[in-house]
Amino acid sequence: MLSSTTGIKKYYFDKNKKLLVFCWIPATPCGRCDDCIAFFRSKRSGSDDFGPDLKLLKPIEMATETQFFAGIPKIPYVLDAEGGDVLCFKHYNAEEVLMGRRMEDWLRFSVCYWHTFCGTGADPFGLQTQRRPWNEGTTPMECAKKRLHAAFEFFNKLGVKYYTLHDRDLSPEGMTLDETNRNLDEMTDLALELQNKTGVKVLWVTCNLFAHSRYMNGAATNPDSHVFAYAGAQLKKGLDVAKKLGAENFVFWGGREGYNSILNTNVAAELKHMANFFKMAIKYKEKIGLQCQFLIEPKPKEPCKHQYDYDAMSVIGFLKHFGLEGDFKLNIEPNHTTLAGHSYEHDVVMASVFGMLGSVDSNTGSPDLGWDTDQFPMDIRNTTMVMKTVVEQGGLQPGGLNFDAKVRRESTDLEDLFIAHIGAMDAFARGLRNAVSIIEEGVIASMVKERYMSFSRGIGQKVEDGTASLEELEDYVIQNGEAKVTSGKQEKYETVFNHYM
């Protein structure tokens, strides 16, 4: 009788709102057919309310494959969900159109491979706390394949269309470059197969040029040209991988490109070598016909005491100095921005102002700590600030919002991976809605416009156009005397902003 396990299913929460049953396996009721409903009604009160323990909620679509995340449904959008319901979206409604674009296309969410599937909760003071079933296997390659299957099950259930990866997350390093590359070939064959099967795409690929001990003194800024050559060889393969997987962007994060002591460092030489490394990347990209956006990810410190890509403005200055600004944009990670001593949104805004905001590693830190905690972004004020800039510049495409974030060491359940992403996606959906209201109503924009009004006429207009001279400014002051005191009205702006939260 009740053997169907496909199609529309129903799921249930217990009285504590914990997902109790989502799929009735054969030989038990499927929860969908008339027989099941009759069965429930005979056991319970005769209605869709099955008593204090079970509640029938909206029918949801089941993911087709469950191997690693049994018990987790395809995450639905539930408009009337209650506070304790955490395995559903309450704000992120992928298809909903805001300012002429679907939410999904404004947000372009991506799951990162390294934290979510390679992370184990280990920290400098303690070993792994999180046991992941995909890490159980006899060889590194066997685990790598299991991990990839787990990742695609996760992407599907979460409903996220993009993922990001380092070359070494996907596939283990071998004894030689050749063996490493063969591992990568095998793993990228499987990744491509799963991408084609599911429609999930690569937002960006990056090379891990910082973890191996050979890179302890840097990769493109290493004082030894042999190490530089190794980094170049790894980058060449990384670009091939990006092409093979159809990556829409390629990120450079210079983990060890910087110094720990200025005394042993030739800064000028290192910066030139790094620029030459990027020039080789541009050439090879052109040669293989790789169509993707190059991105540099700023970070001020950690692991190096000083990193050359300190913040957005340092990177933009570097790119302009070496004539590279036409080939790169920036991937801004707000946890890095706050480490540089700026406010959360500062680098997103600065990069955007210079037309250089390419993508965002959407995470947050704990400003009271002072290192890169890579937490999930849950603060609606922060997400609103970021989305305001993103919407104002017309979106992030081909970049996106990549969750470079990890669940806390103490969050050890598999479902925590879902809860964290769902919470952050909802936080960004709320940020988007708020930003759209702020922009559509235009109160802040008209206040700002009014504030700069004096540059639209007279001497201000000449300054704006770049035609004024110091002599003219002096004449203006002689004729007009002292400038009047004008309030900056910060509290008014903050109050108006809070209205949209």
Beta bridge partners of 20: none
Q: 220-232 b/e with 16+ CB inside 10 Å = b? A: bbbeeeebbebbb
Closer residue to ligand XUL in complex, CB, 29/358 = 358
Angle between helices 312-321 and 267-288 (to 10 degrees): 80
User: Residue 169 binds what, of ligand XUL, Co ion, none (CB under 5 to 8 Å, by partner type)?
Assistant: none
Q: Of 368-407, which residues contact ligand XUL (CB under 6 A)?
A: 372, 404
Closer residue to ligand XUL in complex, CB, 185/302 = 302
Q: Is 173 exposed, middle or buried (0-12, 13-18, 19+ CB in 10 A)?
A: middle
Helices (H), 45-176: 103-107, 113, 140-158, 167-170
User: Residue 90 binds what, of ligand XUL, Co ion, none (CB under 5 to 8 Å, by partner type)?
Assistant: none
Smallest separation (angstroms) from ligand XUL to the CB of 492: 36
Is residue 426 close enough to count as binding Co ion by CB under 5 A? no
Q: Of 387-406, which residues contact Co ion (CB under 5 A)?
A: 404
User: Active site includes 166?
Assistant: yes
Instruction: List the x/- string, 355-384, binding to Co ion by CB under 5 A.
Output: ------x-----------------------
Q: Quick one: which of 169, 297, 309, 311 contacts ligand XUL (CB under 6 A)?
A: 297
Is residue 361 close enough to count as binding ligand XUL by CB under 6 A? yes
Q: Quick one: which of 77, 109, 253, 310 contacts ligand XUL (CB under 6 A)?
A: 253
Total site size for ligand XUL, rule CB under 6 A: 10
Smallest separation (angstroms) from ligand XUL to the CB of 248: 16
User: Residue 206 binds what, of Co ion, ligand XUL, none (CB under 5 to 8 Å, by partner type)?
Assistant: ligand XUL
Closer residue to ligand XUL in complex, CB, 195/206 = 206
Q: How far apart are CA 202 and CA 197, in angstroms?
A: 14
Strands 55-61 and 97-98: unpaired
Task: Name the nearest CA neighbour of 183 among 191, 175, 174, 192.
Answer: 174
Smallest separation (angstroms) from ligand XUL to the CB of 241: 14
User: Residue 299 binds what, of ligand XUL, Co ion, none (CB under 5 to 8 Å, by partner type)?
Assistant: ligand XUL
Task: Name the nearest CA neighbour of 214 among 201, 203, 223.
Answer: 223
Q: Of 314-353, which residues contact ligand XUL (CB under 6 A)?
A: 333
Q: Of 314-343, which residues contact Co ion (CB under 5 A)?
A: 333
Q: CB under 8 Å to 225, separation ≥6 — which residues?
A: none
Q: How far apart are CA 303 and CA 67, in angstroms?
A: 36
Closer residue to Co ion in complex, CB, 180/337 = 337
Q: Of 233-252, which residues contact ligand XUL (CB under 6 A)?
A: 251
Smallest separation (angstroms) from Co ion to the CB of 121: 19
Q: How far apart are CA 260 and CA 264, in angstroms?
A: 9
Question: Which residue is nearest to ligand XUL, using beta carbons?
Answer: 253
Smallest separation (angstroms) from ligand XUL to the CB of 206: 5
Q: How far apart are CA 86 and CA 423, in angstroms?
A: 8
User: Residue 240 binds what, of ligand XUL, Co ion, none (CB under 5 to 8 Å, by partner type)?
Assistant: none
Task: Name the nearest CA neighbour of 328 among 362, 282, 393.
Answer: 282
Q: Which of 166, 336, 346, 421 is catalytic?
A: 166
Q: 1-27 b/e with 16+ CB inside 10 Å = b? A: ebeeeeeebbbbbeeeeebebbbbeee
Q: How far apart are CA 329 and CA 98, in angstroms?
A: 26
**Residue 114 burial (CB count, 10 A):** 18
Closer residue to ligand XUL in complex, CB, 115/388 = 115
Binding region for Co ion (CB under 5 A) out of 239-247, 315-323, 354-362, 386-394: 354-362
Q: How far apart are CA 298 and CA 315, in angstroms?
A: 7
Q: CB under 8 Å to 254, separation ≥6 — which residues?
A: 209, 210, 219, 220, 221, 274, 296, 299, 307, 308, 309
**Residue 189 burial (CB count, 10 A):** 11
Task: Name the nearest CA neighbour of 445 among 402, 388, 383, 367.
Answer: 388
Q: CB under 8 Å to 147, separation ≥6 — which residues?
A: 117, 118, 132, 134, 135
Closer residue to ligand XUL in complex, CB, 73/377 = 377
Q: Of 165-184, which residues contact ligand XUL (CB under 6 A)?
A: 166
**Would you say 217 and 179 are in contact if contact means Cβ atoms under 8 Å apart?**
no
Q: Quick one: which of 206, 221, 359, 364 contacts ligand XUL (CB under 6 A)?
A: 206
Closer residue to ligand XUL in complex, CB, 11/113 = 113
Closer residue to ligand XUL in complex, CB, 169/270 = 169
Is residue 299 close enough to count as binding ligand XUL by CB under 6 A? yes
Smallest separation (angstroms) from ligand XUL to the CB of 317: 21
Smallest separation (angstroms) from Co ion to the CB of 253: 6
- HEC string for 345-360: CHHHHHHHHCCCEEEE
Instruction: List the x/- string, 222-251, binding to Co ion by CB under 5 A.
Output: ------------------------------
Closer residue to ligand XUL in complex, CB, 74/214 = 214
Given the rule CB under 5 A, which residues bind Co ion? 333, 361, 404
Task: List contacts with ligand XUL (CB under 6 A).
Answer: 166, 206, 251, 253, 297, 299, 333, 361, 372, 404
The catalytic site residues sit at 166
